Structure 1
């Protein structure tokens, strides 16, 4: 063999080795790091979706990391500002919006989000742009005691005004309260005010806000809602419902399981209806979504996986395992979300909840210093219920305190 032959052989070997190395390096570097919040219980489902995705996209690998819920925001904030953040992160919309305002998130092209419910996508806009894609939602319903409502001779209230109008007849005919509104817990009162368009600092002392709070003040002063309203939580309200002391609660469909397990006799009298609304007619909802950090190394691959994870097939599979609502528009039109057997209360609740997603705007958006804002408003509500001053004066003071937080 001559010298030129060996040169060709060696050169070919070097070229092939180089190609193999580059290909392997690309494969190794094409790994999408995917964070979820406390989803370990659904590992078989998530691993199955990952496997299906990798089969369809062999050039992309997914590395799943499940983060404890309590550590989610802290770890995410640290990671997105680093040079090596995860590529796809599961967050709530409020923290997502905060990161978007900081310029820390990748903008999602509008043409990529057509598979989702329009109202949900509208709620996710930040300065008119998308910085997240939704994963799943929940929307509270009215859970009510059929016997108490029937004995009262009323229809199930659809609005807070109707709650106020029927409270007296429920109390006089049954001895029970119409409801225990947990209006001093977290941001409950702000979400109620949002249903009247008065949940921002410049409107919380408006004539309409005074009217809404005076309604609760009247009910409290006439013993038409429990005295515990001044401090009680939704969980405590549930206990009152299970013992037959209140006629209805606004809560998630998952509360039906608690009632069934802990108070089967009450569950036998329980039915569900549409969430109680205000003048604007929109429904409260909660949402979990995905974001892609601006510094992520695999933005296109991460978005591709997020869209796959939330396609109609995978959304339906997740929905059937849980009490959450799909966000994929095609999934929401499936019989699972549009039909129910009259004997299946959970199915009825699911159908009602899903339908409510078609009317959720304007949504209540949390803000910087939200916990402090909650404390200001909850303190104001307690003062109003206890008649410490006029509702107008108390809300004027709350307005000043809130404004000081944002100045």
Structure 2
């Protein structure tokens, strides 16, 4: 099962990386648009024939019975149809999809995250679902639909949200109480976090930390900054608001509110430090406490969950339809079947920490009511965060761009550059990488 965020813990995971649009178009697959992508699929066309459905790292003891039953259910409802389910391993999925697109063998229905879907859609490889699913906005979680709409492609949607993840905040109440902080009054915003980080630092004599990570894209967005121009063609996160946020981090780092190694290669990561009880705050999915019970049971009773600070991030997997499928009516019908509310709810029962991308799940009491335990509270907070979560990472954002941003942030936080200069440099270099 592909991981949609760093804190989720499915066994089979793979880093999600964007396909190079240059590589796709260079191999003769379409241009920046395609008549196939914009065609209308007849809603009343008879369903018959055969299609292929591709998932990503989901063929295993846990999920195989689910998909076997899913396919059998659909075929029983629609005699004369055959669904060939195939699964690709976690590693190398980007390369596999690239090969399928360039060879014209992309499966009819395919599991894609937003960044890969963007690259395939950009060369005309995916069906426009806004045009072909009239109830798209009503049937699916709004933020999930938005994740598959791209400004540089006219904001049409190219994926049906399938299973979604987000972050909540998790706190070590023993550390909080040791330094005079109240677990019943946890930070709700970044500014609240800074204020309580100062208290923890001062009362512990600099031995305890509440904050333990440098800022990233999510912090920039939460400063009120749009990462890209409205047409999605240039980066634009070098704003006064982003600079002010970075200045706050710089001041906190200089004051000793963050571990000194957060900007070095020896930095273990926020989650690792939280698990070692060296810092009092981390973020994770709604199943974090349940997972920690298995890996670090002594920590579990100390964890108090709360909603994410400011706006929560969205991590999403979806189902797309190949624009060049030879059986579009069947492909579209099956994609909608896979992602209808009943099938989504049944799927996420096998995937703790994830939530369905169907809008109807908003009325499901299983997600909106806690059983009174910390894990129950965490699940409800994750559900609540999901309703307003945002997919912070642009589909064109790459590891190389992230490296540049991290380098510039480190220069600012160590006083070698101003926040404005660091962000200007990061934007300029990211634009150069985007144009390559």
2:166–2:389 Cα contact (<8 Å) kept? no
Query: C-alpha distance in 2, partners of 1:96/1:161?
Result: 36
Say which SS state the counterpart of residue 412 (structure 2) adopts: helix
Which residue in 1 is equivalent to 2:14? none
By how many angstroms is 1:121 displaced?
Answer: 1.6
Query: C-alpha distance in 2, partners of 1:161/1:339?
Result: 29
Say which SS state the counterpart of residue 264 (structure 1) adopts: coil
By how many angstroms is 1:182 displaced?
Answer: 5.1
Gaps of 5+ in 1: 1-26, 184-188
1:37 aligns with 2:77: no
Match of 2:327 among 298, 312, 324: 298
Which has a greater percent of helix?
A: 1
Query: C-alpha distance in 2, partners of 1:84/1:119?
Result: 30
Query: C-alpha distance in 2, partners of 1:255/1:266?
Result: 11
Deviation per CA, 1:324-372, whole angstroms, max 9, x where unpaired? 11111112321110111112x33322221112122124x4242436222
Which residue in 2 is equivalent to 1:203? 236
By how many angstroms is 1:112 displaced?
Answer: 4.3
Deviation per CA, 1:252-287, whole angstroms, max 9, x where unpaired? 23432442233322211111110112xxxx320100
By how many angstroms is 1:218 displaced?
Answer: 1.0
In the TM superposition, 1:303-342 aligns within 5 A as 303-323=332-352, 324-342=354-372
Alpha-carbon distance change, 270 to 110 in structure 1, aligned in 2, over 3 angstroms: same
Query: C-alpha distance in 1, partners of 2:278/2:94?
Result: 39
Which residue in 1 is equivalent to 2:93? 72
Which residue in 2 is equivalent to 1:261? 294
Aligned length: 370
Alpha-carbon distance change, 205 to 83 in structure 1, aligned in 2, over 3 angstroms: closer
Which residue in 2 is equivalent to 1:18? none
In the TM superposition, 1:1-80 aligns within 5 A as 30-41=49-60, 42-80=63-101
Could you state the TM-score of these two structures normalised by the residue count of structure 2? Answer: 0.79
Which residue in 1 is equivalent to 2:405? 377
1:136 aligns with 2:163: yes
Which residue in 1 is equivalent to 2:428? 400
Query: C-alpha distance in 2, partners of 1:147/1:68?
Result: 41
1:143–1:272 Cα contact (<8 Å) kept? yes
Which residue in 2 is equivalent to 1:8? none
Alpha-carbon distance change, 118 to 368 in structure 1, aligned in 2, over 3 angstroms: closer
Say which SS state the counterpart of residue 40 (structure 1) adopts: coil
Alpha-carbon distance change, 304 to 347 in structure 1, aligned in 2, over 3 angstroms: farther
Query: C-alpha distance in 2, partners of 1:367/1:50?
Result: 31
Match of 2:193 among 156, 160, 163: 163
Deviation per CA, 1:185-236, whole angstroms, max 9, x where unpaired? xxxx112211223334653332111111111111111110111221479973
Query: C-alpha distance in 1, partners of 2:224/2:80?
Result: 49
Alpha-carbon distance change, 239 to 371 in structure 1, aligned in 2, over 3 angstroms: closer
Could you state the TM-score of these two structures normalised by the residue count of structure 1? Answer: 0.84
Of the two, which has the highest radius of gyration?
Answer: 1
Query: C-alpha distance in 1, partners of 2:187/2:346?
Result: 34
Alpha-carbon distance change, 231 to 285 in structure 1, aligned in 2, over 3 angstroms: farther
Deviation per CA, 1:66-124, whole angstroms, max 9, x where unpaired? 10122222222222343443101101011111222222111112414232122322332
Residues 211-220 or 240-249, more deviating: 240-249
Query: C-alpha distance in 1, partners of 2:239/2:134?
Result: 40
Query: C-alpha distance in 2, partners of 1:297/1:348?
Result: 47
In the TM superposition, 1:79-118 aligns within 5 A as 79-108=100-129, 109-113=132-136, 114-118=138-142
RMSD between aligned alpha carbons? 2.3
1:180–1:237 Cα contact (<8 Å) kept? yes
Which residue in 2 is equivalent to 1:13? none
Which residue in 1 is equivalent to 2:36? none
Gaps of 5+ in 2: 1-45, 229-233
By how many angstroms is 1:33 displaced?
Answer: 0.3
Which residue in 1 is equivalent to 2:144? 120
2:167–2:382 Cα contact (<8 Å) kept? yes
Which residue in 2 is equivalent to 1:251? 284
Say which SS state the counterpart of residue 44 (structure 1) adopts: helix
2:275–2:299 Cα contact (<8 Å) kept? yes
Query: C-alpha distance in 2, partners of 1:223/1:248?
Result: 16
